[in-house]
Chain A
Amino acid sequence: MTAAGPGSAGADPFDVDAILGRAQRLLEQARGRGVDQAEVYLEWSEGLSVEVEKGALATTAAGRAAGGSVRVVKGGRLGFAYFTSDDKAMAAVDAALRNTRLATVEGYSLPQAGTTRRMPGRWHGDVASAEAAVAVGLAKDLLAGAKEAEPAATVSGGGVSLDAGCWAIVSTEGAECGDRSTMVSASAAVILEDGERAISTSEGRSRHDLAIDASDVGRIAAQTARSLRKPAEVPAGGRADVIFEPEAATELVVEWMIGAANGDDALRGKSAWSGKLGTAVAAPGLSLVDDPWLADAIGAAPFDGEGLPARTFPILAGGELRTYLFDSWDAHRNSVQTTHSAVRDDFKSRPGTGTQHLQLTHANAVARDRLLADVQRGYLVESVLGAHTANATTGDFSVTAPNVWEIRDGAVAGPVQEIALAGSVPKLLLQLDGVSKDVKRMSGLRMPAVRFRDVDVSV
């Protein structure tokens, strides 16, 4: 994938020292334009992908992008602007300076740099330099895995992508961070005819290196589809125990928890967890930790989006809310300290508050079979439709579970037709009574299956 970076013909665009050097040069230029403080962020990214459609390989694509942004402080006021080439960086500095004049928050200072350390295992040169044949081979493995598991299944979407990125943050307050990482992802959306209707399932996986088992991704998606054939009707709704598989639990529960733990929202009173610091907000024993230093933490980085050293800290511990999340901006507005929780979407957006790599655990986690064994009558939910429509503030949700099995007498009895689930995530967390020891490793988190008691089910 490697190609020359912008303004550096023939150079390796993933050379961290080179991108740091460019950022330092731009920072020096910014100092001369009347700023009190400045921060320069630069990134370079390349991607290669092979899409899959109708059981065959489809579009093969490649993209590359370069860009950067500046944050400047003048008189305690913050301004931001972005640019796509170094020759436009000072125009961005001037624009950011103009924006400071409109700022209403005063007294802000860019964060003081800390000492960052290396986070090994995230850069694999063979991913960055891979030819298209590597991605094509993985995509063929994905198709073969699905076909082998269920010949009647068709991989209708998904594919394989290989991405590489390099970035740097430098500031007048001593930040000088550069890093690079690679990511290999495989996903499969599978369709399986089932009488007049079709079953659709999906599976995905990411790693930093090329050791991804794409065949297994296709196989799991196809096997799941096969296990959902000929679903029985659910005769009546009511309250039932529900076990969410890791993806479903992530979409419905963990995404909401990240928002609820946002410190700025919480301190403004607009989170269901406002005023709950130090109190029980989930079942005893449940912990949620942001731990970028976990071995093989996919998607983590050694520093946050402002160049501060990545930290491990509990959001929940033993069911108790321990920490609200802040980047330096949110921290300043609420007169607290940053938790080093700044994240960046891309160079066109300011850093915001988020998480690096979450891990949900329970003091009494059990094997997945035990999680099922304790359910007399309930459902095992593989995916939910409409999780993003849940009320991000209150946590009220009303979703459909299209891929679901009935649990009877401690075992999976068979697939059933879709059910509707409703409730409130904050209340659901108090009804949680079990998580599995087995976890699914995903980009940005590590997640077990989760069991909740007495969930409202409609049919």
Chain B
Amino acid sequence: MDTREPLKPAAFHILLALAERDSHGYAVMQTVRDQSGGRVRLQTGSFYRHLARLIDEGMVAEAAAPRAAESSRRGTHYRLTPLGRRALEDERRYLADVMAALNGLRPALRKDPS
């Protein structure tokens, strides 16, 4: 059983965005905004603040930039580390537990009964 605290929303969304594919900073920021339906809005300063923490904790690392010239111009790419993947998996499980609890307690909130 993982005893870590749940990830902060911003960190969770950054991991989620990078789980899809390696990407550079601005693209991750855009993805986070879309994924969260605009609820998590990151700007350069706050984005790199979270990113630095994730790198510190070993969940994200710099990635080799792709060869395409257009893409490399966009700067440093980042990738999820195995640790990051595991953290995301832990978070998924945690959220699933939360969902289950929600489903059990509050039938009225059920959208999909299956």
Are A and B bound to each other? no
On A, residues with C-beta under 8 Å from B are none
